[in-house]
Structure 1
Amino acid sequence: MPVLAHDSVLHAEYQPPGAGGPVLVACDGTPVSSEALFNAGRLAMRAFGGPLQVLGVCEPTPGVATGMDVLPVPAGLDEERRAAMEEDVRRAIIVSSAGDSSWPVEVLLGSPSRLLATEARRRHASVIVMGIGRHNPLDRLFGTETTLATLRESRVPVLAVGPSFPTHPVHAVVGLDFSAASVQAARLAARLVAPNGRLTLVHVRPRFEHPSDDWQAWDADYGRTLPPLFDEVRAQLEPPDGVLVETVTVRGDPAASLLSLARQAQCDLIAVGTQRHGVLERMVVGSVATRVLRTARCGVLAVPSA
């Protein structure tokens, strides 16, 4: 998380696509986590001011190979599956105490991650709210985790929550590298924290150290840049009344440091900015946001770069 040039980041007017637009809640009708999902949707509505829309995506039935031919899918099967998912989604909304039967519901056929990202852009959504996904190794290996795949394609912030995500998050931890996306993540996280809650802005300094005079001088200069940068970020936040905003600087690996601090503090939400990387880099290294989403046991807010 290197410190970027002062004027190039904090003075930039950064607004994610669809700021102030509808809150898009991704739901497949599974009742397991619908309560937390809809509560998170309501939280986002209050925080960002947009109406709530529920979107389900039903993957088409793949054809079955039989020798040199492909056995066609029976006509109408996918439409029946799509209609069944729509019924499940509407039922999940009705039976959930956090649901509202007046919310508009639509279920589409296609690739979930691609359609969610596309629809969010088309609708000028302020945020996509969805389940945080599974964490088993096989799912990570083949990249089928819908939440992570959506995050990689989305140009809209993604709020990923698990079944235990609270109605009113009390403590949020923000990974801050002073990029425009990370500053925006701090702004959005500040709106999600409950009154009298806590917002911790965390900057992870390089863990490399060297005894040379040049390194010591550079490291000292680096440290002196941090307080004014933190102050400028704090000045841009609009947290609810009574929210404590604190700053923390640590050394180490950014993702591991954020996750460790979040576990120790038992926080409700980790917020990070995301950067665009090539396919090969994502496969071999992975971004901080990807690693946080794969490992976190709290909610994750990921804000993409413009």
Structure 2
Amino acid sequence: MKAAAFASFGGPEVMSLMEFPEPQAGPGQVRVRVKSAGVQHFDSAVRSGWKPAYGLEVKLPQIPGNELAGIVDQVGEGVTGYSVGSRVLGFSLLNSYAEYVVVGADQIVSKPDTLSWEEAGGLTGNGQGAHIALNAIGVGPGDTVLINGAAGSLGSFAVQLAKERGAKTVIGTASEGNHDFIRSLGAIPVTYEAGLADRLRQLAPDGIHAAFDTAGGEGLRAAVELVKDRNRICTYFAYDLVEELGLRVVRGERSAARLAELVELHTQGRLQIHIRQVFPLSQAGEAQRALETRHGRGKIVLRID
């Protein structure tokens, strides 16, 4: 099978199209013929040589990718609820930038017709990541919430989910060109520049209750200054500042149940998935390069024909 992979650690240029043996589904697993795969900063970090604290094993050459959508074409022993031809979306830690991937049957959910392949491939990681973060910081009715880096895929999901949880006010930092987009999600946009904390005080005179950071920098430091309870601040970006700023590291497990909840929200028209750009599998390196600029709005996805 064809897959986008890296044989050495480095920048996006180490990604290339390679041939691999087709994986085979074992007990409790399904093989998915991948139609789309989301591109995440996690993928770029692993490609660069980062090793997560939970001991993810990377074997060169390595296929990255942990968001996927496609059609089941092989079903392992003991699997119920799915059959050859089932349309699904799901998640894995690695190996999704490929024509085929094997995952546990507990890592997928059925894809409704209301989701395009690109949308389905772009929901499973960032959508769950935002869901986990907002759970951790306890976003609920009446809260004023800051989303730092609100225009990206993770941030735009977080804005919508915060509103869905009953947050009274959601403020999203973004470059000025993305302010209309932030408004369309139901948040108040604000620029990143120096003096952010003062502008936030003007927007939220009664205070900010919780903050989710996806961009670091001035936005995270403003959150630390303005949010009274640091347990209600979560960063998915500035892990190097966690100890200095007295924050906790938030971790959570992706699950089929969590993903099914997000799919249902989309089906009901209560969660939008904004696709920024779609690349062919052969341009996975360029897709990661585009992601690493940290500009633009919404999700970058690979299309696998």
Which is richer in helix? 1
| Rg larger for | 1
Q: Is TM-score (shorter-chain normalized) higher than 0.5?
A: no
Q: TM-score, normalised by structure 1?
A: 0.28
TM-score normalised by L of structure 2: 0.28
